[in-house]
Structure 1
Amino acid sequence: MINTVALTIPEKRIVFYNLNWQKYQKIIEALGENRTARIIYDQGILEITMPLEEHEFAREIIGLFIRILVFEMGLKIKTLGSTTLNYPQLDRGAEPDNCYYIQNQSKVAGKKIDLTKDPPPDLVVEVDLTHTDINKLNLYASMEISEFWRYDGEVLLIYQLQNQKYVEVEISPTFPKIEKAIFYEFIEQSKLDEVEAEKKLRADLKAEEYVRCSTINN
Structure 2
Amino acid sequence: LERGAEPDNAYYIQNQAKVLGKRINLTEDPPPDLVVEVDITHTDINKLALYARLGVPELWRFNGQIWRIYRLDKGVYQEGEFSPTFPLVPKTKLYEFLATAKEDEVRAEKNLRAWLVSQLAKNN
Q: Same fold (TM over 0.5)?
A: yes
Q: Which amino acid aligns with 2:9?
A: N
1-structure distance, mates of 2:6, 2:91? 25
Deviation at 1:175, TM superposition (A): 0.6
- What residue in structure 1 maps to residue 59 of structure 2? 148
Q: Which amino acid aligns with 2:17?
A: S
Q: Deviations over 1:10-61 (max 9, x none)?
A: xxxxxxxxxxxxxxxxxxxxxxxxxxxxxxxxxxxxxxxxxxxxxxxxxxxx
Specify whether residues 198 and 131 from structure 1 end up closer, same or farther in structure 2 by C-alpha distance, changes over 3 A only: same
User: How many aligned residue pairs are there?
Assistant: 121
Question: Percent identity over the alignment?
Answer: 60
Report the TM-score, using the length of structure 2 for normalisation.
Answer: 0.81
Query: How is 1:6-155 mapped onto 2 (pairs within 5 angstroms)?
Result: 90-155=1-66
Q: Which amino acid aligns with 2:69?
A: I
Q: Superposition RMSD on alpha carbons, in Å? A: 2.4
Could you tell me which runs of 5 or more consecutive residues in structure 2 were left unpaired when the two chains were aligned: none
1:200 to 88, 94, 111: 111
The alignment partner of 1:160 has SS state of strand
Deviation at 1:183, TM superposition (A): 2.5
The alignment partner of 2:95 has SS state of helix
8 Å contact from structure 1 (residues 156, 180) kept in 2? no
Q: Deviations over 1:168-218 (max 9, x none)?
A: 1111111111112112333555678766555433322211118xxxxxxxx
Could you tell me which runs of 5 or more consecutive residues in structure 1 were left unpaired when the two chains were aligned: 1-89, 211-218
The alignment partner of 1:118 has SS state of coil
- What residue in structure 2 maps to residue 41 of structure 1? none
